[in-house]
């Protein structure tokens, strides 16, 4: 059993569970064991692999037991040995050969998601998968249908939506704090491709990202545009109904898309804008979300992710802090440590894994899951992301014409 975080404590006495006030009516404690998790991808050189592994272990609800960690068999064996898990050569071999496997986390390049997730679902196992769900809308719809038909839990790792202050914003919008919605804005700006990375040494990650056959028809939308779309939809409670898109590359002679700007109409004729780019020098994973209503607006930035600004019309601006006064239950349940001690991406991922474990345990026991744990993104959210991408690409091809987004 691989348990780098147990620290000699009995797993049933999870310190995180005590600190966050986990309801004893949850299904997971009744399961009486940890879930057995297999890994696909995320091996040597990966950024996201260590994030997944640490997040899965943080609340002691999963054991890492097996993995297909590299397309190179020898590298895969070495990586598995370093983690203390059983190596396998393929997803099918792992699903068939690893005793008692409950779920598989898929962290492979985008073009692999469909086949890898389909193999896991057909083996009767639950899935945790990186976004985007797939590279095409048709494949996304097929995976969502398969997950539903097999009754399997499918957690798509939109981790920003599992930050406490994003949950606070969502709860305030749902409670009518802003009144009728008027407009929404989202930006997601990065600098990682602001230079001609194509001309330098190419890492394995860059090679697949710069290949549209692997990364998909729009690199910027698959990488970060789907995050922006999901944040807008999650917090506002409204999907994008139609859009006008400007897609392309700001870096000269680049063959993949690194820029997207959009005019949006959400359901209910709420106006919106979105800007996403991986090629703006100096930007440090700069996410900004604003929601405007008739009574005021909310603003959240990733740089100050532990805070949420509320500006009611005609009143002083207020700032909510993670773990501070005024937090609503949907947000408070995700707070792990006292205010003033920052939480971020790792804790967001861990929130997803903890809640996915609750849903998986409930499925195993045939009992209802804690409803508060079911706000993680699913394969259906992945379909929404691919529908947004398809509409954006169609709009760009039509010179930015307003294009309906498939519901």
Q: What is the DSSP string of 45-113?
A: T-SHHHHHHHHHHHTT-EEEEEEE--SSHHHHHHHHHHHT-EE-SSHHHHHHHSTT--EEEEES-GGGH
Tokens coding 170: 């969502």
C-alpha torsion sign, points 337, 338, 344, 348: positive
Q: Kindly state the DSSP code that residue 339 receives in the 8-state scheme.
A: T
What angle is formed at CA 267 by the lines to CA 265 and CA 272, rounded to 5 degrees?
Answer: 30
Whether residue 269 sits in one domain with residue 241 = yes
Cross-strand bridge partners of residue 155 = 128
Whether residue 171 sits in one domain with residue 109 = no
The residue-averaged pLDDT of 27-41 equals: 98
Residue 3 domain-assigned (yes or no): no
Residue from 246, 276, 277 nearest 263 by CA: 246
Three-class SS state of 248: strand
Whether residue 289 sits in one domain with residue 180 = yes
Residue 294 domain-assigned (yes or no): yes
Residue 137 belongs to domain with CATH number = 3.40.50.720
CA-to-CA distance for 52 and 157, rounded, in angstroms? 9
Residue 221 domain-assigned (yes or no): yes
CA-to-CA distance for 171 and 298, rounded, in angstroms? 12
* pLDDT tens digits for range 361-402: 999 999 999 999 999 999 999 999 999 999 999 999 999 999
Domain range for 296 is 163-337+383-404
**pLDDT confidence band for 13 (50 / 70 / 90):** very low
Cβ-contact 365, 376 below 8 angstroms: no
Given a cut of 60, whether residue 17 has pLDDT beyond it is no
Whether residue 78 sits in one domain with residue 167 = no
Residue 351 confidence (pLDDT) = 98
Tokens coding 351: 């929130």
Given a cut of 60, whether residue 23 has pLDDT beyond it is no
Residue 8 confidence (pLDDT) = 27
Compute φ and ψ for 241, nearest 5 degrees: -90, -40
CA-to-CA distance for 334 and 329, rounded, in angstroms? 9
What is the total residue count of the chain? 407
What angle is formed at CA 175 by the lines to CA 173 and CA 180, rounded to 5 degrees?
Answer: 55
Given a cut of 50, whether residue 15 has pLDDT beyond it is no
Residue 184 belongs to domain with CATH number = 3.30.360.10
Compute φ and ψ for 76, nearest 5 degrees: -65, -40
Whether residue 154 sits in one domain with residue 189 = no
* pLDDT tens digits for range 313-352: 999 999 999 999 999 999 999 999 999 999 999 999 999 9
Residue 345 domain-assigned (yes or no): no
Residue 45 confidence (pLDDT) = 87
* pLDDT tens digits for range 209-222: 999 999 999 999 99
**pLDDT confidence band for 37 (50 / 70 / 90):** very high
Average pLDDT taken over every residue of the chain: 93
Three-class SS state of 292: strand
- Residue in the block written with tokens 């797993």: 11
Whether residue 168 sits in one domain with residue 228 = yes
- Tell me the pTM: 0.93
Three-class SS state of 276: strand
Residue 266 domain-assigned (yes or no): yes
Given a cut of 90, whether residue 357 has pLDDT beyond it is yes
Cβ-contact 166, 233 below 8 angstroms: no
Q: Is the peptide bond before 105 cis (omega within 30 degrees of 0)?
A: no
Measured N-to-C along each axis, helices 113-122 and 137-150 cross at an angle, to the nearest 10 degrees, of 10
Tokens coding 366: 């045939």
- H-helix segments, 307-344: 329-332
Residue 190 confidence (pLDDT) = 98
Residue 9 confidence (pLDDT) = 25
Residue 200 confidence (pLDDT) = 86
- Please enumerate in sequence order all residues whose Cβ is within 8 A of that of 406, keeping only pairs 6 or more positions apart, or say none: 137, 387, 390, 391
Q: Kindly state the DSSP code that residue 158 receives in the 8-state scheme.
A: -
Residue 169 confidence (pLDDT) = 98
CA-to-CA distance for 116 and 110, rounded, in angstroms? 10
Whether residue 215 sits in one domain with residue 148 = no
Whether residue 261 sits in one domain with residue 170 = yes
CA-to-CA distance for 63 and 237, rounded, in angstroms? 34
Cβ atoms within 10 Å of 194's Cβ, excluding its own: 18
Total count of domains within the chain: 2
* pLDDT tens digits for range 118-177: 999 999 999 999 999 999 999 999 999 999 999 999 999 999 999 999 999 999 999 999
Residue 119 domain-assigned (yes or no): yes
* pLDDT tens digits for range 43-60: 988 999 999 999 999 999
Whether residue 196 sits in one domain with residue 63 = no
Whether residue 168 sits in one domain with residue 20 = no
Residue 25 confidence (pLDDT) = 84
The residue-averaged pLDDT of 229-247 equals: 98
Residue 342 domain-assigned (yes or no): no
Whether residue 308 sits in one domain with residue 167 = yes
Three-class SS state of 128: strand
Class of residue 115 by CB neighbours under 10 A (exposed 0-12, middle 13-18, buried 19+): middle
Tokens coding 131: 């976004």
Given a cut of 50, whether residue 356 has pLDDT beyond it is yes
Residue 6 domain-assigned (yes or no): no
CA-to-CA distance for 58 and 45, rounded, in angstroms? 22
The residue-averaged pLDDT of 94-98 equals: 97
Whether residue 38 sits in one domain with residue 168 = no
């Amino acid at each position: 059993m691989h348990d780098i975080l147990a620290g000699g404590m009995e797993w049933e006495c999870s310190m995180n569970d005590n600190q966050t006030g986990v309801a004893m009516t949850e299904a997971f404690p009744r399961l009486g064991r940890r879930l057995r998790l297999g890994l696909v991808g995320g091996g040597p050189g990966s950024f996201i692999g260590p994030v997944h592994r640490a997040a899965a272990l943080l609340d002691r609800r999963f054991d890492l037991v097996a993995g297909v960690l590299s397309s190179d068999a020898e590298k895969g064996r070495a990586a598995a040995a370093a983690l203390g898990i059983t190596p396998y050569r393929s997803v099918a071999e792992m699903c068939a050969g690893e005793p008692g496997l409950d779920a598989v986390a898929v962290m492979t390049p985008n073009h692999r998601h469909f086949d890898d997730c389909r193999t896991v679902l057909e083996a009767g196992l639950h899935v945790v998968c990186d976004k985007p769900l797939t590279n095409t809308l048709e494949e996304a719809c097929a995976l969502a249908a398969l997950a539903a038909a097999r009754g399997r839990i499918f957690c798509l790792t939109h981790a920003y939506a599992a930050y406490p202050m994003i949950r606070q914003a969502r709860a305030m919008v749902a409670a009518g704090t802003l009144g009728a919605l008027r407009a929404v804005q989202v930006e997601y700006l990065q600098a990682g491709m602001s230079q001609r990375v194509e001309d330098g040494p190419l890492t394995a990650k860059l090679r697949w990202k710069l290949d549209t056959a692997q990364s998909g028809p729009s690199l910027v939308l698959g990488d970060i545009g789907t995050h922006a779309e999901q944040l807008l939809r999650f917090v506002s409670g409204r999907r994008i109904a139609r859009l006008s898109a400007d897609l392309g590359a700001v870096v000269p002679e680049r063959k993949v898309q690194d820029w997207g700007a959009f005019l949006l109409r959400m359901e209910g004729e709420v106006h919106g804008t979105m800007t996403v780019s991986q090629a703006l020098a100096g930007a440090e994973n700069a996410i900004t979300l604003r929601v405007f209503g008739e009574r005021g607006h909310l603003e959240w930035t990733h740089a100050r992710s532990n805070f949420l600004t509320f500006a009611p019309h005609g009143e002083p601006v207020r700032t909510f802090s993670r773990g501070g006064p005024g937090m609503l239950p949907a947000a408070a349940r995700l707070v792990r440590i006292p205010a003033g001690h920052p939480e971020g991406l790792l804790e967001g991922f861990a929130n997803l894994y903890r809640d996915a474990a609750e849903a998986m345990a409930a499925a195993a026991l045939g009992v209802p899951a804690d409803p508060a744990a079911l706000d993680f993104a699913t394969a259906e959210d992945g379909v929404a992301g691919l529908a947004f991408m398809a509409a954006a690409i169609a709009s760009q091809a039509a010179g930015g014409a307003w294009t309906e987004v498939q519901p």
